[in-house]
Amino acid sequence: MTIRLALALILLLAPLSSRAAVFNPHSFTLDNGLQVVVIENRRAPIVSHMVWYKVGDADAPQGLSGMPHLLEHLMFKGTPAVGPGLFSKIVARNGGRDNAFTGSDFTAYYQNIAADRLELVMKMEADRMANLVLDPKLIDTERKVVLEERRSRTDNDPAARLREKMGALQYDRHPYRNPVIGWESDIRAITPADLSTFYRQWYAPNNAILIVAGDVTAEKVKRLAETYYGVLPARPVSLRQRPSEPEASGPKRVELRDKSVRQPMWVRDYQAPSRRQDSLRDSHALEVLENILGGGATSRLYEALVVKAKLAAAAGVSYGTDRYDMSEFSFHATPNPGVAMPALEAAVEAEIAKLIEHGVTEQEVARAKTRLIDGAVYARDSLSSGSYALGRALGTGQSIDDIESWPERIERVTRDEVNAAIRAVLVDRNAVTGLLLGEAQ
């Protein structure tokens, strides 16, 4: 018996109460409202230090999409104590690496560094939480960097442009319709005053989560966090006020043709509940379904379209649970050379129809649950997996328990629940279909 299979069996056979934990974090909240999470992992003498802010592009004022991402860039441009561009240089000189990323619902900053340098990065991160200098000249320079990033990653990438168009169709009013990097006209419209207001409105300890993982103790992190973050005052933070999305009125379709496309693509998104929004308890069933349909070369969709029918070079599904509001359950397929897109689309739609009519089997559900729980076991070995899983969850209104009890919740998913989720989500009126084609196709 392999170690992988043995661990999976241990999880399945153990009492639920004994396996309802994944990362076993320590958590506490400072007096100023900063939530602190510590994941002790002694496999190497390094630490991952992350700060997650509960704000993303969906919280940008109307007409100023991309502002959270531009502010993320500017967070590296200095404070009175750490000059422009020095933050990353100091981290590198001390043998570490750092970066940041922005999503629709959160913005995060991280440093991976030797454990004995934790105090250094904590001091600098706490400094820029409160003391960022927003120099108009640096803002203009970084705006150009972001516009060039948009040109290279979106405007010059047909697949990215297709996804952008599909998002704008999927949502009529909700800001998830906007790309995280922002629309070009919005990026150009952002002023220094807008950025300063946004920074003071959202970048506060009581709107942040500090996650430290690695060769540390909770006691040491608490002492350092109180020293550097605990002295920062809490500030009033805006409630997330986003327009409600009306019920979808019918299927939508977008086609993008570009002479640079060498590999066509077919995509379909169905609006689906996120884990936080999961009043119908569909999200865990949809995670099991995602694994059944798209969990590798033995998954149902891959086997049907790639292995048996030989219509597709690739096929799969994706589902994102970590959204503050709604999410999408997506199908995608790439045709083999010589296969017409209508033939591929008909084949995928036949698989979806079969899924709706007949559902999934008990065996498929059991295998998917085993694979998912098995994956949770191996996530414990990674320095970053816990930080990312907990950060994304807490940044989108979930709790530590939602992550720690995830294996137990997955294990309780039944075939009937998966089939009910299929019929609730895979509805034509919720669908947006996108086709990426070359000019001659």
Q: How far is CA 145 from the centre of its chain?
A: 23
Whose tokens are 């591929």? That residue is 344
Residues 40, 72, 364, 439: which is the catalytic one?
A: 72
Q: Is 345 a catalytic residue?
A: no
DSSP helix/strand/coil, 276: coil
Helix (H) or strand (E) holding 155: none
In degrees, rounded to 5, the angle at the alpha carbon of residue 18 between the alpha carbons of residues 16 and 19 is 70
Whose tokens are 């629709």? That residue is 104
Q: How far apart are CA 84 and CA 133, in angstroms?
A: 9
In this structure, are residues 284 and 409 in contact, taking their beta carbons and an 8 Å threshold?
yes
For the purposes of burial, counting CB atoms within 10 Å of the CB of 297, is it exposed (0-12), middle (13-18) or buried (19 or more)?
exposed
Helices (H), 229-361: 283-294, 300-302, 341-358
In sequence order, what are the beta bridge partners of 113? 47
In this structure, are residues 55 and 102 in contact, taking their beta carbons and an 8 Å threshold?
no
Least Cα distance to 372 among 290, 263, 257, 282 occurs for: 290
Least Cα distance to 411 among 97, 58, 20 occurs for: 20
* CA quadruple 63, 183, 430, 287: dihedral sign: negative
- Write phi, then psi, for 239 (nearest 5 degrees): -75, 150
Q: Taking the C-alpha atoms of 273, 276, 282 and 284 in order, what is their torsion angle to the nearest 10 degrees?
A: 120
Catalytic residues: 72
